[in-house]
Structure formats: structure tokens, C-alpha cells
Structure 1
Amino acid sequence: MTVGGSGASAAGAVVVGEALVDVLPGGPRGTRELPGGSPANVALGLARLGRPVRFATRLGADRLGALVAGHLRASGVELLPGSTDDGTTSTATAVLDASGAATYTFDLEWRLTERAARAVADSPPAHLHTGSIAAALPPGGDTVADLVRAARAAATVSYDPNLRPALLGPPGAERDRVERLVAAADVVKASDEDLAWLYPGRDPEQVAAGWATGAGPALVVLTRGARGAVAFGRRARAEVAAPRVRVADTVGAGDAFTAGLLAGLLAAGLAGPAGAARPALAAAAGGPRLAGAVAAALEQAARVAALTCAREGADPPTAAELAG
């Protein structure tokens, strides 16, 4: 079942976070420069699934910045004012292993201009999504945390830690920041690799379940690569299988999953203006079973991620491709 597209709710989203260029060296076509960055990928995925989405980021006024901006706009993402400055656009050089899984070396700077931050604050979103480098790396991470706190009164919030250990301190130094953002979110998506790094020696599923039974998110989803995902509500646990595809690479797969999940929740009114969506999500995810619109959104997320894995780079499907 596809639950994205125009759906029951016209609620839009604002995504806040980094945009960069994934550099994929080698291969039959030589080095490739592909637009990426976790929040940028989520914004792209939402737009391709038919959701109105605005994006606050930081791009340089250079060739790579123009490449990223054109890529996003071509799929319907609205870049908020102030998202381009005079610096250079960040890059992430990917190295793929035999299974197509990617690790990255980063050359980046993350900050949000005052103009971009003001654009978010002056036009409050129905839903705000953030995560990854944007929520972790100073000075931009502090601005993101402030925007999350301000948005919560009127909007639902989603957060994906999408941790990049090469850019972070030791796990113990990162936990408080991650846990504060988890507590401020309504929906959290994390990978088993994220939680294994953040909580050494602990079962990632137990960590995710604990987040869902605390005072923060109503829905926590733990992705596990080819083993699919497991979702937790206040009292429920549900597994989501990963559809079988021929994997080209896994670049952007987790972000595609997030976009598919959020598109489904937005369409069902389980994300959006906080006064209606927050209690609706709490009711839908708070019982003994994750069923109905939540289950459909999870299934859609898995399909969106699988279709992205079947293509090179962070290239999520459109609503038409998902339905086809």
C-alpha cells in the first residue's frame, strides 16, 4: 500500500541540515559527483513522493553548490533563503565494500546562516525533520537544537542520528546530545550501526525500545540493513521486512527509508500541526499493535529504501515509480 502523495493531509515539512556532494571514485565511469547529505536526501525523497518540502541548508556559491541546488529544485524541493553563502560546498568521498555498503571521508563545514535560521522560524513548519551532521557538528548543531525546541510547540519533529564517528568525539561524549534530541522528537529513525556505536555492549533493539517507552518519541524505528527494520511504540514492537532487490549500492538508503516513513505519516495526519498530529500519532503508536496507517507507512519506507538500493547513489523513487 502506498501512503505518500497527496493523501489525507496536505501538511508540508521543513528539513534542516547539511547538503553536500558524494564523491564516488572508481568504477567503469570513473569518479562521479552526486548530490547528497542525509537531510538533503530526506528532503529530496519527500518531494519525489509528492510532499511539499522546504529545505534550510548551507551550500557554497560554487560549481558543486549549483549542482546540488539544481538537483533538489528539479524534484520540487524549495531551498529557503540564506541557504547559499560565499564558502565552498562540502564533500563526502564514499568507499564501497563488496556488498555495496559505503563509508565516507568528509571535507565539510556545517553552519546555518542567520538568514536561513530566521526563514525557518518566521514560517513555522507543520513538521520539522533534522539529523546527522547537522545536529551534531558545531556551530550549526547548536542552531539546529534551538530550531527544534522552537518548532515543537506547533509542529511534530523527527530526528535521525545517522552518526558519523569520524567527525565525532567518543560515544560517551555524544550520548547527551543525541538523547536530548530524541526526547524532543515525535519520530526517531536510527540504524543498528548508530546505536551499536553510541551504546557499546548494549543491544540496539533494547536501546530503541527504551527510547519509545520514555517521555520522548511516540515511534522509534531501528533499521537493520538487509534484515529490515523493527519499529517500537509505547507498548508495541513490529518487524518490517526488507524487499529483495539486486543492490547497486546502499548510498542514501537510510534517508530514503526516512522519507518514505515521513511521507506516509504526513499523508495520514500522524505528522503535521502538533495540536492534531501529536495526539493522533500517540494514539496510533501507543497500543499493543502498530497497525493501520503506521504499519502502511513502515511498509512504504521499506519499499522506498529497497528501490533506492537498486540504483546507484542517493536516488530515491518518485510516487509514480513506487506505485508502478
Structure 2
Amino acid sequence: MPDSAALLVIGECVADIVRLPEAPDRIHPGGSPANVAYGLARLGLGTTLITQLGPDSNGRLIGEHLASAGVRVLTDGSGAPTPAATVDLDEAGRAAYTFEITWTLGAVQLPGEPPRHVHTGSVATALEPGAASVLDLVRSFRPAATVSYDPNVRPGLMGDHARAVHRAERCVALSDVVKASDEDLRWLYPDEAPEKAAVRWLHSGPAVVLVTRGAGGAVAFLPGGATVSIGAPPVRVADTVGAGDAFMSGTLHALASYGLLGAQARARLRSMDPAVLRDVLRRAVASAAVTVARAGALPPDEAELEQALTSAPAPER
């Protein structure tokens, strides 16, 4: 059995009410951090999620979904309603979100050994008052754990732009691994190229910054100026829900396989061989490709990922 405290994810669960043109609504378990936790557990990593989950039908649906993969769920016991999002999909499967979310995360105790890696991001780090609780938790675990962060920008929930940028940069400075989409970076820094913003983030502390480009693949930036790029495999898109989250869980799974998670691995993570990073990216884009090929945020398990890797593109140099 995997160690349930090995990886910790902190953040929101969301019931995604998916709407397609001329089709009935579908409800999928979602929320970026919850999707990452689910993806990590599907890949065989012991994973705990600290979140808010209401005593309602959506909460039960999400709880059962997470448990089916082996995620241990810890809540603050507030009884707040489970957040929901309406996801409108266009004919190409691209998603637009409308949220009904409150995030008031209170104190949660993590039993057992401290985690060796902590992941957070999205609404959980942007929406007060819960965002302050998340930041405190991340700080408390960082001495023993590496940290990853994905801003997963949702403009309608970010509030004041300058404050949102400050919150994001505060999280970046605490993190070892940062992943953002080019769209995230364009929203945060509309007057700056995404690649330039990523390099600036790298200089504030992370060991690696990853930028996803949708169908254009991804690029990673390392200290010292090294970059690694990879294309995305061709795939028939069902929808893009959860694609970035599958990329994130694929990234962390790959880093774990190389022994690059945990505070004791921080120095090795900072000096990661670009060849290792190429393989990490290959696994991350393959994970995302599996997810977009089917409806909802359903990332691959280990067997599906290995099968997808047989058709993943070679990284660009």
C-alpha cells in the first residue's frame, strides 16, 4: 500500500456542471486541486487532500469519486456547501467556467508523518479567507516537503488584478515546481510575453517553471537558462476539462519516480539534468492527452499512461 501521507494536495473540490450545445447537463467531480489529487492516486501515489466538502449530493459524489482512486480526504468540518461551476463547452470542446464558490478553509490537522510533497493552487490560493489558511499550511510543511503550485487562473474569481498578481507571486516564491498555462500568464501579465514572465518567476525561487501551451505542447525553464520544449501528441479532443491538472499530476508522478520530491531532494531538483526534465515533460503531456480524449477530468491510471507514452512525441531540443 502506498504511504497515504506521501503527497498532500490542499485546495478546492468543485462539482462541474458540464453543458454542451443541444445536450443534457452532466455533473463531473472537479476542482483543480481535487483533480490533481485524483490523478496522483490513479498513478499509484499515496495522496491526501485537504479541502472543503459539503454534506450534499455534490459533496457525496465528489467524495466517492476521490475515494475510488484511494485519495484520503480531510475536511475542516465547516459544513459549507460544495462549490459548483457551470462549464460551457463550445464545439471544439473548449471550456468556459461560471462559478458558485465560497472558500473559507479552517484548521485541519494532518495525522501521521508530514508529507514529502505539497501541491496547491487555483481558487484555494486566490479566494479569501481560505487562501490565507492555505498559505499558512504550505509554510508549515515546507521544511520537510517540496512544494508545487499552479495558479490555474479563473478571472471571475481573482478579484483585484494587482492583488491577484501579488498572491500568485507569493505562492511562486514558496514553491519548488511551478506550472502555469500561457493563458494564465497572459492574464496575470498582459504586457509581458509568457516566457519572459516564467523566467522572472524562476528567478524568485522555484527549481523549475513549466508553461503549458495547449495543443502547442509545453516548455520548461531551469536555473542557468536551460529550456526544454515538447510538442503535444495529436488527439481527438472530447473536452479540455482537467487537462492542465492531468499535466500537473503527470509531472509530479514523473518527478517522484526520479526521487526528486521531498525537502532532502531539493538541491537535486534545482540541478536537474535537462534529459530528466525531457522525460518528465513527455510523461506530463501524455497524461494530459489521455484526459482531453475523454469527457470530464478523468486522468490516466498507470497502465493508460504507459500505453500513451508509446505514441508521445520526442522532446524538442
Helix, strand or coil at the partner of 1:119: coil
Aligned to 1:313: 296
* Residue identity in the other structure for 1:110: W
* Residue identity in the other structure for 2:185: L
The 2-side partners of 1:280 and 1:227 are apart by 29
Helix, strand or coil at the partner of 1:105: strand
Is residue 34 of structure 1 aligned with residue 28 of structure 2?
yes
The 1-side partners of 2:177 and 2:183 are apart by 18
1:138 maps to which of 106, 128, 142: 128
Cα deviation, 1:219-242, whole Å, max 9, x if unaligned, reads 000001000001000121111111
The 1-side partners of 2:38 and 2:294 are apart by 15
The 2-side partners of 1:247 and 1:152 are apart by 37
Q: Report the Cα offset of residue 180 of structure 1.
A: 1.0
Aligned to 2:305: 322
Helix, strand or coil at the partner of 1:15: strand
2:245 maps to which of 243, 255, 258: 255
What does 1:280-319 align with in structure 2 at a 5 Å threshold? 280-284=268-272, 290-292=274-276, 294-319=277-302
C-alpha contact 2:20 2:89 (8 A) present in aligned 1? no
2:8 maps to which of 1, 14, 33: 14
The 2-side partners of 1:313 and 1:10 are apart by 25
Q: Report the Cα offset of residue 170 of structure 1.
A: 3.6
C-alpha contact 1:24 1:32 (8 A) present in aligned 2? yes
The 2-side partners of 1:155 and 1:191 are apart by 24
Q: How high is the TM-score relative to the length of structure 2?
A: 0.92
CA shift in 2, pair 1:138/1:11, >3 Å: closer
Cα deviation, 1:87-121, whole Å, max 9, x if unaligned, reads 2111010011232111110011112232x2x227x
Is residue 224 of structure 1 aligned with residue 218 of structure 2?
no
C-alpha contact 2:4 2:48 (8 A) present in aligned 1? no
Structure 1 residue runs without a partner (length 5+): none
Higher relative contact order, chain-length normalized (CA < 8 Å, sep 6+)? 1
Is residue 155 of structure 1 aligned with residue 145 of structure 2?
yes
* Residue identity in the other structure for 2:94: A
Cα deviation, 1:63-109, whole Å, max 9, x if unaligned, reads 110000000000111112x3554221110100112321111100111
Is residue 119 of structure 1 aligned with residue 107 of structure 2?
no
Is residue 197 of structure 1 aligned with residue 187 of structure 2?
yes
CA shift in 2, pair 1:271/1:65, >3 Å: same
CA shift in 2, pair 1:130/1:219, >3 Å: same
C-alpha contact 1:10 1:267 (8 A) present in aligned 2? no
Q: How high is the TM-score relative to the length of structure 1?
A: 0.90
Aligned to 1:89: 82
Cα deviation, 1:246-301, whole Å, max 9, x if unaligned, reads 000000000000000011111211112x0x2101101116xxxx212x22111100
Helix, strand or coil at the partner of 1:55: strand
What is the total number of aligned residue pairs between the two structures?
306
* Residue identity in the other structure for 1:174: A
* Residue identity in the other structure for 1:278: R
CA shift in 2, pair 1:123/1:28, >3 Å: farther
Aligned to 1:102: 95
When the two chains are superposed, the root-mean-square deviation of aligned CA atoms in Å is 1.9
* Residue identity in the other structure for 2:298: D
C-alpha contact 1:135 1:142 (8 A) present in aligned 2? yes
* Residue identity in the other structure for 1:99: A
The 2-side partners of 1:161 and 1:196 are apart by 12
CA shift in 2, pair 1:26/1:295, >3 Å: closer
The 2-side partners of 1:25 and 1:195 are apart by 27
C-alpha contact 2:20 2:88 (8 A) present in aligned 1? no
C-alpha contact 1:61 1:85 (8 A) present in aligned 2? no
* Residue identity in the other structure for 1:119: L
Aligned to 2:73: 79
What does 1:163-242 align with in structure 2 at a 5 Å threshold? 163-212=153-202, 214-234=203-223, 235-242=225-232
C-alpha contact 1:269 1:277 (8 A) present in aligned 2? yes
